[in-house]
Chain A
Amino acid sequence: MTEREETQLELADAELDCVKAQALRAPGLGEHDAQLHEVWKPRKGWVGWLMTGDHKRLGILQIVTAFIFFLLGGLEAMLMRLQLMRAENNLLSADLYNQIFTTHGTTMMFLFAVPIMQGFGIYLVPLMIGTRSIAFPRLAAFAYWTYLAGGIMLYTAFFLGIGPDNGWFSYVPLANSDFSPGKRADYWAQMITLTEISSMATAIQLIATIFKMRAPGMSLNRMPLFVWSILIQSFVVVFAMPAVATASGMLASDRLIQTKFFQIAQNGDAILYQHLFWYFGHPEVYLIFIPALGIVSTIIQTFTGRSIFGYLPLVLSIVSTGFIGFGVWVHHMFATGLPQLSQSFFTAASLVISIPTTVQIYCWIVSLWRGKPRFTTALLWVLGFVQVLVMGGLTGVMLASVPFNTQVHDTYFVVAHFHYVLIGGAVFPLFGGIYYWFPKITGRTLGETLGKWNFWLFLIGFNVTFFPMHILGFIGMPRRVYTYLPQMGWDNLSLTATIGAGILFTSVWLFLINAAKALRRPVLALDNPWHADGLEWATSSPPPVYNYKRLPVVESRDPLWKRTDPMPVLTGLDETKHEVVITSVLDAIPSHREHLPGASPWPFVLAIVVSGGLWVLVYTSYAWWPSLLLIGAIIVAWYYRNSKTERSGAGGF
């Protein structure tokens, strides 16, 4: 059989499996479905959204919220580009510019990139591993509401004109009360606390879900690559985020109760802050990038119609990226005058971490070569990802070199580099992912023509914006300057970048139009429009509240493409309760059944109290113990309330 025939057969199989998959979906409401629906349905109206523990609703909330923050961050970026488009421009004052670049960075890192990736994790993981829920639905609800509260807190300060203005890294001593009087840095620190609580809760949630709730038969070596990437991301979160929480906590207490962690005169240390911050800050980049790697693998597999080449090296690459990511933070501190030897160590580590990515790039190239690519918009985003990310990766290799780093560190070269890495490494795959999973989530497909305009304008706009910044860095333009003198000769390249930003702006508008148009169309009939093989496509699009009518059993790595007709499922769950099956960590052998709690107002209430307490803490240190007592009381009330009625599964989800 020739390769071509083989592929055609695989495609035919895929179609056949789509038919097969109908078995798992919910066609109309039979008696059985009605029962499931009754048990898992959320409460009606907006109260249902406030109380929900449904991972799909929470995932959608988180994705949409994060995307709104992406748009806000983008508008801030646009303002900065307009200010810098010519020398000594007066559009923004120095103070406002500093607030804007701080809010832009903080938004993109803490309110957009990590939450949206985790949002996709929350939405997709239970569907991909074939279960009805995440492990701790109420923790997930709490995590979402705290994240939202953190975002609201930052933007309230920003719109009141007291937005943080020390950069997204908020270095001390600049952020100490001596040099930043007022409440700006406090808002930053408390916002960090809230978003970190949220991220860590979500990460623990996802680890427990992935380890214990996979469909029977989905051993670790049959787990989809996206699930792998979310798993590794969650581990990185758990080990990295405490560092920034510690740093921001120390900063807040320095400002609030006059501890002396970072007061130089009392032997506090500014470099300690940098170590703590970057021990988190570099893994942060990877925990944004790693899920994107999972998205890329998923899209390539689907649109080549063939299993991805190099499953094992891809998994190992993600794992090693997560590990080595903890050993490279000092390359953000090469100009602080650390000893030569430790610098060489961090150079070596920073170079080594590129290797897993080059391996993955070539695995994907070979996968595209072996398969029969269909150039949908989703796949185009992946190809764009390769163009952009590889360049960002190579400038990253350059930045690992200490001597070279001391030249371009904190210049526009670095601005160019990390936008290539973060937009290339995360936003391109993310858009790909949105085009890919939009039908799953909404039941409607995004327009391909508009999508291609969206993609090409984004790719062009991106390169026009950020490529010139490499050169700006070489010719002396430091980062975080609100203006520059005309004689510096930075005008032309800056103007080019601003024009590029305009193109990017247009492209994102096209996306919004595309999404709005799609949402106005009726739900489409196809459940699996891409002939994909992930379990998430084995149910209807959008999925019913209970995810699967019959929970799947997995017998291969490609559950929908590998032909085992009829589809294996499990039975025996008590469908009058929120019951799920729990399996073993390594081989996913069913071990027992577990009941999940239902809808509850308490996570929302607790999030309000926690964020309210932190908000009051900005203004008075005495708030700490009343807040703790109130939080304790609410947890107790929650525990008692839920024990009686809601654990059995009555009362909606």
Chain B
Amino acid sequence: MNVRTAIDVSGLEVEKFGSADTLWWGNLGLIVVESTSFALLIASYFFFRMRYTQWPPDDAGVPWFTFGLPNLILIVAICLPMSRVNKNAPNASQPWLTKMLAVSAVLMAGTVALRVFEFQTLHTGYSEHSYGSITWALLFMHGIELGFGVGDTAVLAVYSATRELDRKHRADIQTVCTFWNFLAISWVVIFAVVYLGGRML
């Protein structure tokens, strides 16, 4: 056979964590798509601002912090357990991971619940005017992502409790951690736009 072996890869490990993994890149691609969507929604928010003399418009109140602020704190706080999970996912014991994931999933479900109440404190309906539509859209689109976060984490928690985690599944756990960091960062920005923009612009 007219070939020569240039490289032998049998010594290389199977599955790696972090940016070496293809899954990490796929996840990053998803995050880029989501970020672009959020950025465009935020740009639309400022675009609509130009059509109003008063912001928020007459028939809408300023958004209250009642649920928004606690939710901001909670979403960011969940990054702490998630970053510990992220760091230890490759080697940690399975019961520990199960526990951490379950706690995180419950906390995440709390963010979704708070999000539902947040709509009330926007003091506008989605179908009244473009201000209402865009603020609802920002909260809703981010809320759907929170829902995905809950789902992912809960499924992984159950999986970890019921089956043996291999390296591939441990990499999946890291993916959820990265995704939650993205959700937290993007929420800091969206929170500032919706809640502070609704008071200061």
Contacts and interface: CB of A to CB of B under 8 A. Distances in A.
**A touches B in complex, CB < 8 A:** yes
Interface of A: 19-20, 22-24, 135-136, 139, 200, 203-205, 207-209, 211-213, 216-217, 238-239, 241-243, 245-246, 250, 253-254, 257-261, 263, 266-269, 272, 275-276, 279, 550, 553, 555, 565-573, 579, 581-582, 584, 590-595, 628, 632, 635-636, 639-640, 643-644, 647
A268 B45 CA distance: 11
B37 A245 contact: yes
A594 B169 CA distance: 13
User: Which 3 pairs from chain A and chain B are nearest by CB?
Assistant: A572-B10, A204-B29, A568-B6
Interface stretch (B68-76, B122-130, B178-186): B122-130
B9 A581 contact: yes
13 contacts: A200-B33, A204-B26, A246-B40, A261-B134, A266-B130, A267-B57, A267-B130, A267-B131, A268-B129, A590-B12, A636-B155, A639-B155, A643-B159
Contacts of A279: 40
B48 A643 contact: no
Contacts of B3: 23-24, 550, 566-569
Contacts of A254: 133
A348 to B, nearest CB: 22
Nearest to A579: B14
A207 B25 contact: yes
A242 B141 CA distance: 13
Contacts of A245: 37
A275 B47 contact: yes
A241 B32 CA distance: 11
A566 B1 CA distance: 9
A254 B7 CA distance: 58
Contacts of A258: 127
Contact of A211 (B25, B41, B128): B25
Given A245-B37, A259-B137, A239 B32 contact: yes
Given A136-B22, A260-B127, A261-B137, 14 more contacts: A23-B2, A24-B3, A204-B26, A239-B36, A242-B36, A253-B137, A254-B133, A260-B132, A267-B48, A269-B130, A272-B47, A567-B4, A579-B14, A628-B144
Contacts of A272: 44, 47-48
Contacts of A209: 22
Q: Which of B3, B13, B20, B40 has the most CB of A within 10 A?
A: B3
Contacts of B168: 595, 647
B40 A276 contact: yes
A243 B33 contact: no
A257 B20 contact: no
B149 to A, nearest CB: 12
Contact of A643 (B1, B10, B32, B163): B163
Contacts, number: 192
B127 A595 contact: no
Given A243-B40, A269-B48, A591 B20 contact: yes
Nearest to B165: A643
A259 B126 contact: yes
B1 A23 contact: yes
A208 B22 contact: yes
A23 B127 CA distance: 66
Nearest to B52: A267
B26 to A, nearest CB: 5
A246 B41 contact: yes
A207 B134 contact: no
Nearest to A139: B26
B189 interface: no
A21 to B, nearest CB: 9
A570 B9 contact: yes
A565 B2 contact: yes
A205 B2 contact: no
A22 B3 CA distance: 10
B22 A257 contact: no
Contact of A593 (B9, B44, B127, B132): B9
B5 interface: yes
A242 B37 contact: yes
B116 to A, nearest CB: 12
A643 B147 CA distance: 23
A19 B3 CA distance: 12
B13 A593 contact: yes
A118 to B, nearest CB: 14
B113 interface: no
Interface string B139-151: 0000010010001
B10 A581 contact: no
Q: Which of B15, B57, B144 has the most CB of A within 10 A?
A: B15
Contacts of B12: 572, 581, 590-593
Contact of A553 (B6, B40, B127): B6
A267 B4 contact: no
A253 B133 CA distance: 9
A205 B26 contact: yes
Q: Which of A19, A261, A590, A594 has the most CB of B within 10 A?
A: A594
B10 A592 contact: no
A344 B22 CA distance: 43
Contacts of B92: none
Contacts of B25: 135, 204, 207-208, 211-212
B36 A569 contact: no
A457 B177 CA distance: 57
Contact of A572 (B8, B26, B29): B8
Given A22-B2, A567-B2, A590 B7 contact: yes
Contacts of B128: 260, 266
B130 A260 contact: yes
B30 interface: yes
Contact of A571 (B10, B15, B127, B169): B10
